[in-house]
Amino acid sequence: MSERETWATRAGFILAAVGSAVGLGNIWQFPFKTAQFGGATFLVVYLVAAFGIGLPAILAEFVIGRKSNLNTIGAFEKLGYRNWRFVGVLGLVTGFWILSYYSVVGGWVLRYVGGSLTGAYFGDSAAYFSSIAAGPDAIALHAVFMALVVGIVAFGIEDGIEKATKFMVPSILVILVALAAWAFTLPGSGPGYGYFLSPDLSQLRLTVATTDGFPFVSFGGPLAEIIPFAVSQAFFSLSLGMGAMITYASYIDGDESLFGDGATIVVFNSLIGILAGLVVIPLLFAQGVEPGSGGAGALFISVAGAFASIPFGRVVGVVFFGVVLVAALSSAISLLEVVVAYAIDNYAVSRPQVAVGLGAVIFLLGLPSAWDTAWLTWFDNLAYQLFLPLSVLGILVFVGWVFGRPALEELLRGTSFGHGVGATWLWTVRSVVFLAVVVTLVLGLVTLFG
């Protein structure tokens, strides 16, 4: 067997992982979910979830990946726990599942880049969205998006993914900063900042009440609803539970600090979500659009509608949707890489062959979502509320209790931290993080089947 690929540089790994993390979840979902859950209050809870729960969890995936240098299924076997391969399988299936409809949304984005150029959505932006979101058009664009993803992955780790994301991630950052500055100049955007950035802390209050004489603790506001959502959003946003971070970390060849890498990724991922909010929310306020209204098509309908009525709207539209496209692509390649890595680690097949073959299968799986947005919503709900938390739970239990001590040593390798730091991490994984995931899973199941 030929030698397994590695990242050329540490920065290459970090940028690729940031590229995976930063995607539709940040630019499309995050601003809208923040608006839906009341603005800044959600932002605060989300940031706590990203750093308090997402960071320890991403480190758990890094440890599995770097220690094993294998794909997300083979990793468990290599570490000596053959029976835990099912956790890897769960992650791989989740990634496969998510990519199928992620690519359909990627197709919409492609369409909106073109639509901004020609002004196609400048009339009735809601009608335009429903005319392109489902049906033959959506299928064709889903195919084009998938083809782009396959094209990059076929070139491999160093020449494909690392080269592409090295250019993609900095451009996303620079352009979002420019767009946020532009949104600031729009008349009427002012109140958007208060809405997005100043939390109503009374919503985060704990109260003790009694029912039939039994005391119970409850939250003063909608926190019980926000927490599980913020936790799932943090996982999705950090590309956890889909084998992506395990796979990317498996190409690390060196003793760098996984703490440093993980913290950098969480910071950039949060920063780009906030920047996207600073573009989208003021833009909506400037247009007098109620943020948080609208479902899957919200970004496309209301943001595109705003571009229609703004000077230089076409240019700004191309730039904005161009950034969304780049972000979606750099995430989608990490999802395809999970399955490609598994195939080339195990079978005598070439990378380009596998990329094309699996890309075709994922395209087929995405057909229902491209045909009818109700299917897309169903795929998304199942991923979000079931597959994702279940898969993360598997990883946490494995790292926290089964693998345990060697995980801690792997995490400390390449750092100057003492044992206490590693022990604290392991303790956090076993307690706070574990509990948060269990609660999220239970509440997700209640929403799905209750």
Q: Contact residues for ligand PHE (CB under 6 A)?
A: 20-21, 23-26, 98, 236-237, 239, 242, 244, 331, 334-335
Nearest-approach distance from CB 195 to ligand PHE, in angstroms: 22
Nearest-approach distance from CB 439 to ligand PHE, in angstroms: 21
d(CA 66, CA 48): 26
> Which partner from the list ligand PHE, Na ion, none does 150 bind, CB cut-off 5 to 8 Å by kind?
none
Residue 219 phi/psi, 5-degree rounding, is: -90, 145
> Which partner from the list ligand PHE, Na ion, none does 391 bind, CB cut-off 5 to 8 Å by kind?
none
Nearest-approach distance from CB 30 to ligand PHE, in angstroms: 8
Identified binder of Na ion from the candidate list 68, 103, 203, 237, rule CB under 5 A = 237
> Which partner from the list ligand PHE, Na ion, none does 385 bind, CB cut-off 5 to 8 Å by kind?
none
Nearer to ligand PHE, 21 or 411 (CB): 21
Nearest CA to 394 among 293, 243, 256? 243
Count the residues of the shown chain that bind Na ion, applying the rule CB under 5 A: 5
Nearer to ligand PHE, 126 or 173 (CB): 173
Q: Which stretch binds Na ion (CB under 5 A): 187-195, 232-240, 281-289, 358-366?
A: 232-240
Paired tokens of 46: 């989300």
Which residues contact residue 75 at a Cβ distance below 8 angstroms, ignoring those fewer than 6 apart? Answer: 64, 65, 67, 68, 88, 246, 250
> Which partner from the list ligand PHE, Na ion, none does 165 bind, CB cut-off 5 to 8 Å by kind?
none
> Which partner from the list Na ion, ligand PHE, none does 369 bind, CB cut-off 5 to 8 Å by kind?
none
Nearest-approach distance from CB 233 to Na ion, in angstroms: 9
Nearest CA to 122 among 289, 303, 326? 303
Which residues contact residue 193 at a Cβ distance below 8 angstroms, ignoring those fewer than 6 apart? Answer: 278, 281, 282
d(CA 205, CA 52): 19
- The answer to whether 179 and 319 have CB atoms below 8 angstroms apart is yes
Number of other CB atoms surrounding residue 250 within 10 Å = 29
Nearest-approach distance from CB 294 to ligand PHE, in angstroms: 18
- The answer to whether 305 and 316 have CB atoms below 8 angstroms apart is no
Indicate whether 103 belongs to the interface with Na ion (CB under 5 A): no
Q: What DSSP letter does each residue of 166-183 carry, written as one string?
A: HHHHHHHHHHHHHHHHHH
d(CA 345, CA 357): 16
Q: What DSSP letter does each residue of 249-309 carry, written as one string?
A: HTT--S---HHHHHHHHHHHHHHHHHHHHHHHHHHHHHTT--TT--STTHIIIIIHHHHHT
Nearest CA to 441 among 215, 201, 180, 241? 241
Q: Give alpha helix (H) positions in 119-189.
A: 125-133, 136-154, 163-184
Cβ neighbourhood burial of 265 (10 Å; 0-12, 13-18, 19+) = buried
Paired tokens of 31: 């601003």
Identified binder of Na ion from the candidate list 5, 13, 15, 25, rule CB under 5 A = 25
Nearest-approach distance from CB 362 to ligand PHE, in angstroms: 13
Give me the torsion for CA of 23, 25, 27, 31, rounded to 10°: -170
Nearer to ligand PHE, 171 or 350 (CB): 171
Indicate whether 31 belongs to the interface with Na ion (CB under 5 A): no
The two beta strands, 214-219 and 206-211, are: antiparallel
Indicate whether 156 belongs to the interface with Na ion (CB under 5 A): no
> Which partner from the list Na ion, ligand PHE, none does 152 bind, CB cut-off 5 to 8 Å by kind?
none
Nearest-approach distance from CB 187 to ligand PHE, in angstroms: 31
User: Which residues inside 128-147 make contact with Na ion, applying CB under 5 A?
Assistant: none
Residue length of the chain: 450
Number of other CB atoms surrounding residue 375 within 10 Å = 18
Nearest-approach distance from CB 220 to ligand PHE, in angstroms: 30
Nearest-approach distance from CB 318 to ligand PHE, in angstroms: 21
Nearest-approach distance from CB 94 to ligand PHE, in angstroms: 8
> Which partner from the list Na ion, ligand PHE, none does 282 bind, CB cut-off 5 to 8 Å by kind?
none
Nearest-approach distance from CB 315 to ligand PHE, in angstroms: 25
- Binding string, residues 260-289; x marks residues near Na ion by CB under 5 A: ---------x--------------------
Paired tokens of 216: 């119970």
Nearer to ligand PHE, 72 or 428 (CB): 72
Indicate whether 34 belongs to the interface with Na ion (CB under 5 A): no
Nearer to ligand PHE, 273 or 313 (CB): 273
Identified binder of Na ion from the candidate list 16, 17, 19, 26, rule CB under 5 A = 26
**Which residues are near Na ion by CB under 5 A?**
21, 25-26, 237, 269
